[in-house]
Each structure stands twice: as structure tokens, then as C-alpha cells.
Amino acid sequence: MSKKITNTNLAGMIAEVVTNPPQSEPVHIKHYKNEQEAIIRQSCLKAAVHLMEGKVNGKTNMQNATGITIEIAEAFENWVKR
């Protein structure tokens, strides 16, 4: 393997990023935040469904029950993120 750098422009760009990293968040941090939000949202929805399941029977308007369940899940999520 040759030790000579053939693409000096690319090497310069890499060196610049290594020595002066961008100020924005690294990709893995952004992914972590998105993953955490998804976990919170899923958990809140699960809790809302669990809360509503005792109130649903054969005469329940499922469209209304679904809307109420989502509102409860959003309220739980807002509480967690406060």
C-alpha cells in the first residue's frame, strides 16, 4: 500500500473536520433523541389504550374512542416532556 496521499484536497477536508468539528450535533445524538421521542410516544399511547380498554364495550363508537385515546396519549406525552 502506498503511503503517498493522492487526493490532497480530500485529505485537507478530512483534516479540517477532524481539527475543527462542526458545531451541530453528531448524527448519533440526533438519532438518539428521535429514538427517545418514539419510545416516549409509544409508551404514552400504550398507557392511553390500557386506560381506555375498560371503557370500551360493544356499543362504543370506536371513532370517538380512538380520538379520545389519542388525546389522552398526547396529554401523557406532554406531561412526560414537561
d(CA 73, CA 33): 19
Mean pLDDT of the chain: 81
d(CA 76, CA 67): 14
Where do the H-state alpha helices sit in the chain?
8-19, 27-52, 62-81
Contact of 76 with 48, CB cutoff 8 Å: yes
Confidence of residue 1 (pLDDT cuts 50, 70, 90): very low
- pLDDT tens digits along 15-49: 776 677 666 666 666 677 788 899 999 999 999 99
Confidence of residue 53 (pLDDT cuts 50, 70, 90): confident
Contact of 55 with 68, CB cutoff 8 Å: no
Q: Which residue has the cell 385515546?
A: 69
- Compute the chain's Rg from CA coordinates: 25
Q: What's the predicted TM-score (pTM) here?
A: 0.58
